[in-house]
Amino acid sequence: MALETFPYDTAEHLKTPEHIAAYLEAVLEDNDPALLSHALGAAARAHGMIQIAQETGRSREQLYRTLSEKGNPQLDTLMGVLKAIGLRLSVKPIETEA
């Protein structure tokens, strides 16, 4: 008997700004720009891509392209999407091992 599988969409599991923030923070630890772009796309879909497009002044299609694994969002796009979701970018020192 074949194993039945179902598509997985991260956006379905990002219900609150706190969930989205925790997800993006974990993704940032991997230091992978493609993964971050993909994760921002999932966060934007979870929040509502039409609403994100309206708040950032970009087209929905442009956001889908930019926030894909092959996309390369500019800083203003990144900050605009985060603001529309209710988050902001912050910086903290890298913890080093003693």
Sign of CA dihedral 76, 77, 83, 87: negative
**Domain, as residue range, for 60:** 14-85
Task: Decide if 18 is inside a domain.
Answer: yes
Residue 98 banded pLDDT, cuts 50, 70, 90: low
Task: Decide if 27 is inside a domain.
Answer: yes
Coil, helix or strand for 10? Answer: helix
The rounded mean pLDDT for the chain is 90
Task: Decide if 24 is inside a domain.
Answer: yes
Predicted local confidence at residue 45, as pLDDT: 93
Q: How far is the CA of 40 from the CAs of 25, 72, 93, 96, in angstroms? A: 11, 11, 22, 27
Q: Does 96 score more than 80 pLDDT?
A: no
For the residues 73-78, what does the mean pLDDT come to? 90
pTM confidence score: 0.82
Task: Decide if 67 is inside a domain.
Answer: yes
Task: Decide if 62 is inside a domain.
Answer: yes
